[in-house]
Chain A
Amino acid sequence: MSEAVLSPAQLSARHLTRHFTTRVPGRFLTAKRVVRAVDDVSLDLFEGRVTAVVGESGSGKSVLARMLARIVTPTSGELVLEGSPIPVRSKRTLDYAAKVQLVLQDPYASINPVHRIRHSLERPLLIHGANKGEVETLAKAALSRVSLDPPERFVDRYPHELSGGQLQRVSIARALCVKPDVLLADEPISMLDVSVRLGILNLLRGLCDDERLAILYITHDIASARYIADETIVMYAGQIVERSRGTALVDEPTHPYTQLLISSVPDPSDPTSQDPQKREHATFEVANVGCRFAPRCPFAMDVCRTDDPPDFIVGEDHTSHCWLHASEPEAAVEVAPPKRRREGEPTKA
């Protein structure tokens, strides 16, 4: 781990924030509501490492991935690619697109159904300046890298002639064609058959270990994050609520939301995981002031309703965005920079 920290990150996000203003039609007036889809998220993607981002739907994972791919413009914050700050408000360059590739959830939606696989692989190569003579060889090489062997059997097929797992491999191959340094995979297995999911996870892990790619693995399945991640990040309502090296936060979750997430996973091997007691029903209310999880949190205190907690250190390379950890001796250091207060938020006492 330490050598990885020494080498600079391939891609860093600094305080990335994206708000959306939506109109909520009311009975008489249309109200404006600001959705803080991603709020002050910082992360580093290193070569040869898988960083997993876990969260339920709506937690901001896809918006984050799209900002990292520069498909969505951040409201604020910056990106640093291989040490150079990127002017995020300008148009995405071809060079950036080649270095940072995004793989989406549904391969049937992301691969053009009317063309043969060959076309889907060769097109990005041509766009990125490969010459006509070499594209076929490069396309086939990409298929081999994702274990679609022999590639001759796949290049001339149409997407509907492949299974979901095979087509997701094609979409990973397409991303790999242009030799990216960073692969952003947004829920790459959630639409696939159970039996082929591990194959894709093992493929991603292999690309990371053998080809030193920096990988962001986005998922709602915390067990799959535990399976492949070198760093794990849990998001709730646009914020990072807990992060740890490896999978420490899965083995010893410290944030009440992470704990809720883990205890909800069906786990027949753990008799205590099945809590027959009826839980309070989830409210999906996200607090505007204070800790966003407070309306659902069984431990919420007064301070939680007024002040957004900072990130507290709860272990080695392990932080928790929760006031419960404020009084712990080793947690006296606040790692997060003081939060910029948003309008309407009460001043900290």
Chain B
Amino acid sequence: MSADTFDIQAVSPMREGPAERKGNAVANVERSEFVLEVNNFSVDYGVGENMVRAVNDVTLHLRRSKVLGVAGESGSGKSTLVYAMTRLLRAPGVISGGSVTLNFTSRDDEKEFTTLNLVTASEKELRKIRWSHVSIVLQSALSALNPVLRVGREFDEVLKTHRPDMSKAQRRARAVELLTMVGLNDDRLARYPHELSGGQRQRIMIALALALDPDLVIMDEPTTALDVVTQREIISELHDLRSRFGFALIFITHDLSLLVELADEIVVMYAGEIVERAGASELYEAPRHPYTLGLLNSFPPLHGPRRELSGIPGSPPDLSDLPAGCNFYPRCPFAMSRCENEAPALTAIENSDRSVACWLHSSDSSVPVPVELSRTVNPARNPVTTLKERP
């Protein structure tokens, strides 16, 4: 798939004239409306015969202060994508293609708009942007926090490293402020991680991620290990923090219903590829990809008559043995003959701001689109406004 089949064009953030190259970064560029631009990004595990492609040709662009949801079942490449994007990927994982551009305002005296390709950035350049501009919250807060450090020390270390200008008292004051922000009492600073509940630890991870006021926060299944009541509290907390601080958010989960409530835009991944991208309510009310439809039908409802749901037949894909054509072909209830050998590319749907990788929606398809996959969004009923009042 080439970048131009994708419906958001990659904007060139560079300004003619006095743009200034600083290593892999280019400073003094025009301010981009996107905080992150990922283009044709691929990631492999291993080499040679045993190589599997865990992320394949992913393109996504995230606007400032927006929430991008990444959905997909386990093994679809969600974690690999964000680890690789932020260069936290470890061997045997390797980035095998594409670019990841972060656009930010530098924190030094010049406060210049800067653009940095994270794929080629040096460790030194990465250290500058990590935490200050991009921060990550992982699923298991227990393993992310150092078990022998009191929570207060954890805050102190982060601030000491990135804000050498702060005094000890200022760091302590900031730590208290951050804890209060996530609804925790400052007496938690004296605790060790094991003395806290899962929800409290995850709140602390969120507070740490926000410590340096980043432009982009990435959360990989931050609530999956938590109980539903705690999850709900953290989600509304997050909503609150976002409207106060305006960071952009990439939120990864296998729980599509949760994303529909939280995200502005959702991408659905299957076998390492984006198979559908749409606004959250469009995706929920009018899915276009058979896999998205299957996922939505995999959650039993809390209301309405009880009826049998079928979920998605078959098993999740095996990356080392993918079908020749569409990856979803073996499980797809709508599969056609061309799907067996030809892989559909992620393509913009005409007159819309969404894309799908499925032959059913191809302009040359002779098969009518099934009703389930051609519903229109009911504009009278937009169920996802409450959590997302946006200016």
Contacts and interface: CB of A to CB of B under 8 A. Distances in A.
Interface of A: 56-57, 163, 165-166, 193-199, 201-202, 220-224, 226-227, 247, 250-251, 260-271, 274-279, 281-282, 284
A281 B240 CA distance: 14
A247 B383 contact: no
Contacts of A284: 197
17 contacts: A194-B298, A195-B294, A222-B228, A223-B300, A224-B300, A226-B300, A227-B300, A227-B309, A251-B303, A261-B229, A265-B302, A269-B383, A270-B302, A275-B236, A276-B389, A278-B240, A279-B233
A268 B284 contact: yes
Contacts of B389: 276
Contact of B386 (A265, A274, A278): A274
B254 interface: yes
A264 B254 contact: no
A243 B310 CA distance: 27
Contact of B255 (A194, A247, A251): A194
B257 A266 contact: yes
A222 B299 CA distance: 11
Contact of A281 (B183, B255, B301, B312): B183
Contacts of A278: 183, 236-237, 240
Contact of A268 (B184, B261, B300): B261
Given A264-B231, A278-B237, A278-B240, A197 B298 contact: yes
Q: List the 10 closest pairs (A to B, CB-CB), nearest first.
A: A198-B311, A227-B300, A264-B232, A195-B312, A268-B260, A56-B227, A266-B257, A193-B73, A163-B315, A266-B258
B193 interface: no
A278 B238 CA distance: 10
B384 interface: yes
A304 B301 CA distance: 33
B299 A223 contact: yes
Nearest to B386: A274
A261 B183 CA distance: 20
B269 interface: no
A101 B312 CA distance: 28
Given A56-B228, A194-B295, A268-B383, A247 B306 contact: yes
A193 B254 contact: yes
Interface in B225-268: 227-233, 235-237, 239-240, 254-258, 260-261
Given A199-B311, A278-B240, A269 B303 contact: yes
B255 A266 contact: yes
Interface in B276-327: 284, 294-295, 298-303, 306, 308-313, 315-316
Nearest to A225: B300
A282 B227 CA distance: 11
A266 B295 contact: no
B376 interface: no
B43 to A, nearest CB: 21
A309 B232 CA distance: 28
B237 A261 contact: no
Given A194-B299, A195-B73, 19 more contacts: A193-B75, A195-B298, A195-B312, A198-B300, A202-B308, A222-B228, A226-B302, A226-B306, A251-B303, A264-B232, A265-B302, A266-B232, A266-B261, A267-B303, A269-B301, A276-B236, A276-B389, A281-B184, A282-B199
Nearest to A202: B308
Contacts of A226: 300, 302, 306
A198 B256 CA distance: 15
A223 B301 contact: yes
B299 A195 contact: no
B67 to A, nearest CB: 14
Given A264-B229, A268-B383, A281-B233, A223 B261 contact: no
Contact of A194 (B229, B254, B385): B254
Contacts of A163: 315-316
B26 interface: no
Q: Which of A163, A198, A226 has the most CB of B within 10 A?
A: A198
Contacts of B236: 275-279
Nearest to B255: A266
Contacts of B284: 268
Given A166-B315, A278-B236, A278-B240, A270 B303 contact: yes
Given A265-B228, A276-B236, A222 B295 contact: no
Contacts of B306: 226-227, 247
A227 B310 CA distance: 12
B316 to A, nearest CB: 5
Contacts of A220: 227-228
Contacts of B298: 194-195, 197-198
B387 interface: yes
Nearest to B313: A199
